Structure 1
Amino acid sequence: MATNINLFTDKEATNWFKACIALNVTKEGLTNFLEKELQKVHSVVGTSCGKCCIEKLIKCPTLKYCKKTKGNNCIFHKSQQPQHCQICDKVKQNIVTLHRYGGPSWRNTHAENWAHDYWEIGKCFLPLDGYSSVSSVQESDFNGVISIMLNCLHFQTCLSSACISPPPPDDACLLEKVRQIGRVVRHTSDCKVTDADLQEYFQTLSTLLVDPNCLQHDPSSTIACARLRDLQNDRLSIKELGDLLKEAYRTLVLAKEAGERFSLEAERTLEQVTKAGERRLKSATHAGQQRLKIKTKVGESTYLRTSH
């Protein structure tokens, strides 16, 4: 049974909430694709020794990482001093080469796990801070997933020119447009989206999910695209909406843990509406169950009357 998503009296506030859910749906649709491609990246950069932590591999001082205390000790290198490792240095340089801007997010990654965990390589292409404790693609957020696709040059080989031409950081680039949607939704001051903007969001996100090179043939992407259409047209089932509400709230919690800055209004509204929405869905589910019981009893009574 489909349910209406008008959780606000204000239409534009409902649109904003739909946009939040659309970001989560899109992120889920990209997860399988991202995992497969990061495994390829993992094989390309080579195998590390498995013993060096990232502090050992970063020289001191390094801009954005090293900061001296009063005792002239570096905060970043407080536990480990830089040491040369030919094997790991080669992997590190390969990561730098693959980064579009030559500035991997070293603070996010655990280099001692590079040898066996492709995700620790992927984390080098995330935003600079806030993702150190994120242990998988699934745990990452929309901004993280899109950032990897933008920052890692490998994705130029598996996305069509429609997604990466003109190349980032050009605002006309589809991936940049997708990232900008996330920024606008997260950092809103009034938690409102116009009908025209919402339709543009759906169109842009769907265009990415049906990219002909790989995503068009990815089952998760196909499912996500269908869910976007259902969300756009209020055709989601009660169960689907309930799952998406939980995911939206989980995204908020994880984003806060990762240091992601939502606007205060967006944070407050998303937290309130997910909880209110869950209450409404429980009520709707209970009402549906009651109607089913009544119909069942009526059916049983009819059967008993006609069988005697």
Structure 2
Amino acid sequence: MAANTHLFGDKETNNWFKACIGLNVTKEGLTNFLCAELQKVHIVVGNSCGNCPIENLIQCPTNPYCNIRKRNYCPFHKSQKPQPCPICDNVKHNIILHHRYGRPSWRNTRAEKWALNYWEIGKCYLPPDGYSSISSVQESDFNGVISIMLNCLHFQTCLSPLCLSPPPPDKQCPLEKVRQIGRDVRHTSDCKVTDADLQDYFKKLSTLLADPPCLQQDPSAIIACKRLSDLQNDPVSFEELGKLLKDAKKAGECFSEKAERTLAEALQTLDVTTLFGEQRLKKKTEVGKQRLQSKTKLGEHRLERKTTFCEQRLQSKTKYGEQCLENKAFFGEQRLQRKTQHGEERIKSKAQYGEQRIEIRINKAVQCLDSNVNDGTQRIEISVQHGIESIERIARGSKQNCTSRLRTRGSRFSPSFGETLQ
């Protein structure tokens, strides 16, 4: 919340300002809800032709619009003569049906805008005077918003029974009590509200904003409830007071003479305080500029010194780095040469040792091969000799077997055959 203060020494006067601000906060919390519901009413009552002014749809004379005292002149109809229009008459009839008392405020509305502007339908449920130039819900005041909710029967479907029981115009109706808060605050004789009354006002306003069917979930109503709670416990802020005065002037709200004077005094106090604040702010700004310039110059000097010092250090570090690099390069070359020479020597030694090992292995392989050849030759010769001897034994055995068989068979046929074989 903005910086706040008590605008008046009297606490009850400050309470009155809080009550005024609370009414504005409540109206803002109800605005989105009212707009959404009036759009539904706009759909229900139907579309007009968009050409007929309200004067064409109202018979002359009709109280309280027509002045029947003057013959041949009506300040309401002027040059317009009533002309029947079935389409617009149907819309007018539906508007009347939705009015709790059957007496819409025709002077507030422009019938040619009924087709496109839901607010022109809503204005029929406003109080009869002082709202013809109001072009939106946002421009209306607290009394206008609550009056629409009381006068339009559609709101019976989106408010809980607790808000409208007993039904209007019973003074015990909670919504009637809420409207009465606005009247009491605006038409006060002393611009004072006790702590108990302020607490009661805020309780009733918060109860309305937290009504279960629709408002309890409405984001604007939730924010308004939170603001009412904060406002009840905090002093009046210049920001809230300035907004109150601007909204009251813009909406053309009717206050009592005492309330008008109190608002004027508050506005004067606010102007003086604002002027004093602007002067202090200007002085603070000048001092801040001077300090900023001084700090800037000091910073520039320090930056220059730091830059010079850093440049010198950088040059010194660069030279030192170059020397270190040269030394490292020199030592590196020497180590590389030593490593290269040592490597060459190791390669030569390894090569000689490898050649010797290869020669030894070749000689061993040749000797082993010669030994294997000699051994193989001997084994082949022995195998051949054994084969020849085996063949000869087999041949001799075969010859003896054949001779024996022939003798045996020959003796069967002729004894002399066996002798012949012998």
* Shared fold (TM-score, shorter chain, > 0.5): yes
| Paired residue type of 2:259 | A
Q: 2:256 aligned to 263, 266, 278, which one?
A: 263
From the superposition, tell whether residues 93 and 22 of structure 1 become closer, same or farther in structure 2 (CA, over 3 Å).
same
For the 8 Å contact 1:48–1:91, the answer to whether it is kept is: yes
Give the aligned residue type for 1:12. Answer: E
Using CA pairs under 8 Å that are at least 6 residues apart, name the structure with larger relative contact order, 1 or 2.
Answer: 1
The answer to whether the aligner puts 1:254 opposite 2:250 as a matched pair is yes
2:125 counterpart of 1:125: yes
Post-superposition offset of 1:251:
2.9
After TM superposition, the structure 1 stretch with the greater mean CA deviation from structure 2, 40-49 or 212-221, is 212-221
- Say if 2:39 and 2:118, in contact at 8 Å, map to a contact too: yes
Relative to its length, the structure with more helix (as a share) is 2
Asked whether 1:280 is paired with 2:273, we answer: yes
AA aligned to 1:221 is A
User: CA-to-partner distance for each residue in 1:30-49, whole Å, 9 max, x for gaps?
Assistant: 11111111000000000000
Alignment-derived partner of residue 49 in structure 1: 49
Instruction: Tell me, yes or no, if structure 1 residue 78 matches structure 2 residue 74.
Output: no
| Deviation digits for residues 159-183 of structure 1 (CA, Å, limit 9, x no counterpart) | 1112111111111211111100000
CA contact (8 A) 2:139 2:251 kept: no
- Take 2:167 and 2:279, find their aligned partners in 1: how far apart are those partners? 51
Map 1:198-277 → 2, pairs under 5 A: 198-234=198-234, 241-242=238-239, 244-256=240-252, 260-277=253-270
Would the aligned equivalents of 1:15 and 1:193 in 2 still touch at CA under 8 Å?
Answer: yes
CA contact (8 A) 2:242 2:270 kept: no
Q: CA deviation at 1:275?
A: 4.1
3-state SS of 1:246 partner = helix
Correspondence 1:1-308 to 2 at 5 A: 3-68=3-68, 70-234=70-234, 241-242=238-239, 244-256=240-252, 260-277=253-270, 279-280=272-273, 283=276, 290=284
- Identity, in percent, stands at 64
Provide the C-alpha distance between the structure 1 equivalents of 2:33 and 2:275, rounded to a whole number of angstroms. 34
> In structure 2, do the counterparts of structure 1 residues 89 and 163 end up closer, same or farther at CA, with 3 Å as the change threshold?
same
Residue 203 of structure 2 aligns to a residue whose secondary structure is helix
Comparing 197-206 with 71-80, which one deviates more in the overlay? 71-80
Structure 1: stretches of 5+ with no match in the other structure: none
Q: Whole-Å Cα distance in 2 between the matches of residues 223 and 57 of structure 1?
A: 42
**Cα 1:137/1:192, change in 2 over 3 Å:** same
- Whether contact under 8 Å (1:202, 1:228) holds in the other structure is yes
Question: Equivalents in 2 of 1:118, 1:152: separation in Å?
Answer: 13
Aligned length: 296
Please report how far the alpha carbon of residue 63 of structure 1 lies from its aligned counterpart in structure 2 after TM superposition: 1.2
| One-letter amino acid of the counterpart of residue 150, structure 2 | L
Tell me the secondary structure at the aligned position of residue 131 of structure 2: coil
- RMSD over aligned CA atoms reads 2.6
Paired residues of 2:5 and 2:235 also in contact (CA < 8 A) = no
Give the Cα separation in 1 of the matches to 2:42 and 2:5.
41
Deviations 1:214-253 (A, max 9, x none): 11111111111111111111077x5xx41x3233112322
Please give the secondary structure, in 2, of the residue aligned with 1:74: coil
Structure 1 residues 283 and 29: CA distance shift in structure 2, 3 A: farther
Please tell me whether Structure 1 or Structure 2 has the larger radius of gyration of its CA atoms: 2
Distance 1:20 1:278, change over 3 A: farther
Unpaired segments ≥5 residues, structure 2: 307-422
1:286 Cα offset (Å):
7.5
